[in-house]
Amino acid sequence: MKNMKLLELKHVNKSYKLAGKESVSILRDVSISFESGEFVSILGESGSGKSTLMNIIGGMDSDYQGDVIVQGKTLRSMKEKEIDAYRKEKIGFIFQSFNLIPHLSVLENVMIAMQMLDKSEKERMKCAMEILKEVGLMNHAKKRPNQLSGGQKQRVAIARALANDPEIILADEPTGSLDQETSGQILELLDSIAKKGVLIITVTHSQKVADFGSRIVSVEDGRIIEDQFLKERYTTVKGTVQKKGKNLSLIASFKLAMKNMRLKAKRNILVALGGSIGIFSVILMLSLGNGVTDYMNDEINTNLNPLLVDVVKSDEAEAVEEQGGPPNQQMGGAPFTEEDIATISGLKNVERVEKVTTIRGKTNVIYSEKNYELPAMATLTDTIIKGNIEEGTLPSENEVLLTTSFAQSLTSEVTYESLIGESIKLFINEMGENNQPITVERELIISGIYAQEDIGPIEGASAYVSYTTLEDAYSEQKLILQPVQLNAYAKKQVDVEEIKADVEKAGFVSSPIASIMEQVTTYVNMATWLLAGIAAISLLVSGIMILVVLYISVVERTREIGILRAIGARKKDIRRIFFSESALMGLLSGVIAVTGALVISILLNNVLSNSFGAELIQLSPEYMLFGMGASTLISVIAGLLPSSKAAKLDPMESLRYE
C-alpha cells in the first residue's frame, strides 16, 4: 500500500470515428503514473492528444481502452454517479477560457462547487472567502466576471477548482490567455498549491510554462515520447478531509434558476404573462359559473325550503305533466285523506307535515260594501317568509295576507298600504251533500301585503290564509277541507333524497321542482366547464411557449451545463435546475393570472352589483390555488423535454460550445 500511486494510466488508447467510419487514433498505448505534490506539465502541439488525456483523467471521457486507476480504484469499474462523485471530490478543473458563469458573482462562482457537499450556507461562505483570500481576490468577491481582468478571472477559476479541496487539479492551458507577468503569477499560485500535496497536471504547448513545473511529459501523435523529471516533487502530505457528497439541493437549484430568470427578466415576464392568459380565463369562467349557480340557488331557496319535499297524488302528477308545470302552481288535484297524511307523517326522517290547498274560481271578497272576485286563494306555507312582506306581518288565525296588486284593486296604488288592520269578508262557494250549494264565510283581518305575487309558491294566488283558518271556516258548514298537497319537511338536508324515494314507494309522487332546479344547476355547471375547457386551449399554447423558451435557455447555457458537470454535477442535478426554472415560470404565470382574475372580479362585481344588485363572479381561494397549481403543473410538464435534453448534454462538447 505504501507504493500505491495517486494516479496511474495503463495502456490507454483512444480513437475517433470520422463520418466515413475511418478510425483516427488520438492516444496510443499511454502508460504513466503520478504522485501527490507533483507539478506536471503535459507538453505537446495542438492535436497531439494532451487535452484528450486530461479529459480521460478527469472522468469527462469514458470512451477509451485501457485503465485509469486513482488511489487503487479503477475508473472503468465506477458507475456514472461514482464518476460524478470522483469529479466532485477529487478533481478540480481550470480552463484556458476560464469558463466562469457570467451571471454569478465571483463568490458565487467559487461556492457553486460546494453546493453539492453537505455544508451549510455559512460554512460554504466562510470556506469560499478563505480561498479567495488565498488567491488574492478577497476584495473582488461581489464582482461579476466581466468586471475582472484575465488574470483575475483565472484566479477565480483556480479558486473554484480548490473549492472542494481536490487531490488532483487539471489545468488546460492555464496561462494561454494571459500576458507574461500574469502568467508567472498564475504559475506561482499553482506551485504553491502543489506544495500542499496536491497533484497539479497542466496541459500546455509552451516550453517556458512546462519548465516551471517539477516534471514534463512530452506527447506527440498520441504517444508519450519523453517523461522528464526537473526536480523532486513536494512531499507534504495533504490532509484528508472527509467529504459527504449529495445531490444539488432543491433550494440551491431554485436559487440558480431564479438568478438565470432575473438575467432574462423581460423575456421571462412576457412569457409568464402570455402563459397566464389561459389560466386567467379558466379561473374567471369557473368563478362566473360558481357565482351564477350560487345566485340561482339563493333565489330558489328564497322560495323553496331545501328541507321541503312536496307530495301530491299520482293522478295529480299526471295532470301536472299534461299542463306543463309543477303541482303547487296548478289547479288543486286529488285530495289527501287522513290515512294518506298519517302515511307521509310516519316516513323515516320526516320531522313534520304541512297541509296545502288552493281554491280557484269560486271565492269572493267584500270590502267597503263592494264585491271583488278573488281569482285564487292558497293556504300559507313555510316558503312565504317575513322577508317577502312589503308591509305588515305574516297572517295568524283569522288573518289574511294580500298581494300588492289585489290590495291596490281594493283601494288605489297610493293608499293600498292603509288596508293593513282592516277587515274583509270572505265567501267561498262550495257544494254540500246532494249537490246543495253552501257558502263558506269568514271575516278576516288584513295582516300584511305580500310583494312577490305571481312568482310566489302558488302562481296566481291573490291571498294567503293559514290552513287552520280555512279548515275552521269549512267545519262550521260541516264540510271537510282536504289538502291537495302535503309538504313534508326533512330533519336534515341529507335525508331529502331518501324521503323522496320513500314517498314514491308509498304510492305518491314528489314534486319535480327540486329535480328541475337540480337539472338547471347541472346545465349551468356543464356550460361553465365547457367555457373553461375552451379557455383552457390557450394553456396548450402557453405550455408550448414555455417549452420553446426552456429549449432556448438550454442552448444559451450549454457551456454553463458543461461547467457544472465538470465540477461534479450529476445529470439529475442539471435536470433539477431546469425543472426548478420551469416550475418558477409556471408559478409566476399563476400569480399573474390569479392577480388579474382578482382585479377583474372586483371591478365586474362592482358593475354587476350597481346594475343588477348581484355579484356573480365568486373567485374562491380554492380557484386561486387551482390556478397556480395548474399553471405550475403545465409548466413543469412543458419543461420535462428541455430538462432531459440539458441533462443528456455531453460535458466535453458543452465546454467547447460557443
Most confident of 196-200, 376-380, 519-523: 196-200
DSSP 402: E
Give the mean model confidence (pLDDT) for residues 623-642: 89
Q: What percent of the chain has pLDDT over 70?
A: 89
Q: How confident is the model at residue 325 (pLDDT cuts 50, 70, 90)?
A: very low
Residue whose C-alpha cell is 478563505: 130
Residues 374 and 459 in one domain: yes
Asked if the structure places residue 255 within a domain, the reply is no
Residues 288 and 309 in one domain: no
Residues 179 and 134 in one domain: yes
Asked if the structure places residue 251 within a domain, the reply is no
User: Are the beta carbons of 436 and 352 closer than 8 angstroms?
Assistant: no
Residue 402 pLDDT > 60: yes
Exposure class string for 30-67: b at 16+ Cβ within 10 A, else e: bebebbbbbbbbbbbeeebbbbbbbbbbbbbbeebebe
pLDDT digits (tens, 9 = 90+) for 131-179: 999 899 999 999 999 999 989 999 999 999 988 889 999 998 888 878 8
The pLDDT of residue 616? 83
Residue 530 pLDDT > 50: yes
Beta pairing class for 39-43 and 215-220: parallel
Lowest mean pLDDT among 515-524, 578-587, 626-635: 515-524
Last residue of a domain, one of 458, 493, 511: 511
Give the mean model confidence (pLDDT) for residues 45-72: 90
Residue type, 578: F
Residues 65 and 187 in one domain: yes
Residues 18 and 80 in one domain: yes
Contacts of 627 (CB under 8 A, 6+ apart): 279, 280, 282, 283, 590, 593, 594, 597
DSSP 411: S
Cα distances (angstroms) measured from residue 487 to each of 232, 316, 351, 457 = 107, 15, 11, 12
- Which residue segment(s) compose the domain that 458 sits in? 305-511
Residues 288 and 230 in one domain: no
The pLDDT of residue 74? 93
Average pLDDT, the chain: 84
The pLDDT of residue 512? 58
Between 511 and 366, the higher pLDDT residue: 366
Give the mean model confidence (pLDDT) for residues 33-52: 91
Q: What cell does 539 get?
A: 394553456
Last residue of a domain, one of 511, 537, 564: 511
Beta pairing class for 168-172 and 199-204: parallel
Strand partners for 442: 426
SS (H, E, C) 338-378: HHHHHHHHCCCCEEEEEEECEEEEEEEEEECCEEEEEEEEE
Asked if the structure places residue 2 within a domain, the reply is no
Residues 239 and 291 in one domain: no
Q: How confident is the model at residue 180 (pLDDT cuts 50, 70, 90)?
A: confident
Report the CATH number at residue 167. 3.40.50.300
Residues 189 and 327 in one domain: no
Lowest mean pLDDT among 149-163, 275-289, 524-538: 524-538
Residue 42 pLDDT > 90: yes
Most confident of 52-56, 234-238, 308-312, 553-557: 52-56
Residues 587 and 471 in one domain: no
Give the DSSP H or E segment for 291: helix 265-303
User: Are the beta carbons of 44 and 53 closer than 8 angstroms?
Assistant: no
pLDDT digits (tens, 9 = 90+) for 213-243: 999 999 999 999 999 999 999 888 766 555 5
Give the integer Cα–Cα distance in Å for 441 and 377: 14
The pLDDT of residue 214? 93
Give the integer Cα–Cα distance in Å for 298 and 521: 12
Residues 466 and 572 in one domain: no
Between 118 and 550, the higher pLDDT residue: 550
Most confident of 241-250, 305-314, 525-534: 305-314
- What domain count does the chain have? 3
Give the integer Cα–Cα distance in Å for 3 and 17: 38
Give the integer Cα–Cα distance in Å for 599 and 143: 41
Residue type, 485: Q
Give the DSSP H or E segment for 586: helix 571-612
Q: What cell does 317 get?
A: 302528477
Between 461 and 32, the higher pLDDT residue: 32
The pLDDT of residue 312? 86
pLDDT digits (tens, 9 = 90+) for 338-381: 999 999 999 998 999 989 888 888 899 999 889 999 888 899 88
The pLDDT of residue 328? 35
The pLDDT of residue 520? 66
The pLDDT of residue 332? 47
Cα distances (angstroms) measured from residue 97 to each of 87, 137, 172, 553, 656 = 19, 18, 9, 21, 10
Strand partners for 220: 223
Beta pairing class for 7-17 and 65-70: antiparallel
HSE-CB for 376 with a 13 A CA cutoff: 19
Asked if the structure places residue 382 within a domain, the reply is yes
Asked if the structure places residue 253 within a domain, the reply is no
Dihedrals φ, ψ of 73, to 5°?
-115, 130
The pLDDT of residue 294? 76
Instruction: For the chain, give percent helix, strand, coil, nearest 5.
Output: 50, 20, 30
CA nearest neighbour of 228 among 213, 216, 240: 216
Give the mean model confidence (pLDDT) for residues 471-483: 90
CA angle 583, 80, 4 (to 5 degrees): 140
Give the DSSP H or E segment for 162: helix 150-162
Give the mean model confidence (pLDDT) for residues 538-550: 81
User: Are the beta carbons of 377 and 462 closer than 8 angstroms?
Assistant: yes
Asked if the structure places residue 415 within a domain, the reply is yes
Q: How confident is the model at residue 452 (pLDDT cuts 50, 70, 90)?
A: low
Give the mean model confidence (pLDDT) for residues 545-563: 86
pTM, entire model: 0.65
Asked if the structure places residue 597 within a domain, the reply is yes
HSE-CB for 631 with a 13 A CA cutoff: 30
Residue 414 pLDDT > 50: yes
Residues 467 and 498 in one domain: yes
The pLDDT of residue 617? 86
Asked if the structure places residue 264 within a domain, the reply is yes
Residues 110 and 238 in one domain: yes
Lowest mean pLDDT among 37-46, 114-123, 316-325, 598-607: 316-325
User: Are the beta carbons of 132 and 110 closer than 8 angstroms?
Assistant: yes
User: Helix (H) and strand (E) counts for the chain?
Assistant: 20, 21
Give the integer Cα–Cα distance in Å for 565 and 649: 9
Last residue of a domain, one of 511, 534, 550: 511
Q: What percent of the chain has pLDDT over 90?
A: 30
The pLDDT of residue 167? 92
Q: What separation, in Å, do the N-terminal and C-terminal C-alpha atoms of the chain show?
A: 45
Give the other-Cβ count within 10 Å of 647's Cβ. 21
Crossing angle for the helix pair 513-556 and 265-303, nearest 10 degrees?
170
